Structure 1
């Protein structure tokens, strides 16, 4: 925990990435917990950053979710300096099931022009005009 009792930003980020991957695979917190041999409440705490996840447990999570441990972490340059806007930008996206679905699927779009078009559509829909 940070000085204010809030989770560290990297713990929150890792938890959000676990949640995204779990959701993308269609696993419930209970299903993931069962495969890890822990309670679903513990999975909730990991996903919110309330509890830190040990290296060995994170390795197990990566194995169960068929990804690399590195997939749960931000790029090193993001973790340094004032570029913290990336941390906060992830929170609203992961707050809803729809947001997690979009965030999970977007990088899977292989065609760069299609990704750009999707980004333009989302930006246009988000405008208040």
Structure 2
């Protein structure tokens, strides 16, 4: 169901996944926009979920980003209640360039103990702010 004044959860999730994939590949919004034949502002609107991306454009984005269309969607069982399962957090972390940097780099940390330490530091900083 749509929230009044805001994007559908799935639209926001798809946009966040586009943003993460684009960032992981080192593409700017402008570079992606050029390959899709749209403005970078439109890419911004897709990534925030402000605008829905059409099926044909999503297919083209998947091709450009070298992934499947399915990679942009949450599993069906979580689509019904995205906010309660952490998908809302994904949208929030990808809303800023700093958040996208953290989200993209974090899984690249090989050492599990280092990842845990980073998570503890982030939690502590979040509590202090």
Task: Specify if TM > 0.5.
Answer: yes
List runs of 5+ in structure 1 lacking aligned partners. Answer: none
Hey, what does 1:8 align to over in structure 2?
A: 8
1:127 aligns with 2:123: no
Per-residue CA deviations over 1:61-102 (Å, capped at 9, x if unaligned) read 112112222221222222124x52323322331222111111
User: What CA distance in whole angstroms lies between the structure 2 residues aligned with 1:115 and 1:75?
Assistant: 25
Q: 1:39 to 1:7 in 2, by over 3 A?
A: same
What TM-score do the two structures reach when normalised by structure 2? Answer: 0.80
1:41 aligns with 2:41: yes
Counting matched residue pairs gives: 128
User: What CA distance in whole angstroms lies between the structure 1 residues aligned with 2:3 and 2:120?
Assistant: 39
Alignment map for 1:59-78 (pairs within 5 Å): 59-78=59-78
List runs of 5+ in structure 2 lacking aligned partners. Answer: none
Give 1:29 shift: 1.5
The alignment's C-alpha RMSD in Å is 2.4
User: What CA distance in whole angstroms lies between the structure 2 residues aligned with 1:76 and 1:48?
Assistant: 21
Say whether the 8 Å CA contact 2:48–2:91 is kept in structure 1: no
1:84 aligns with 2:83: yes
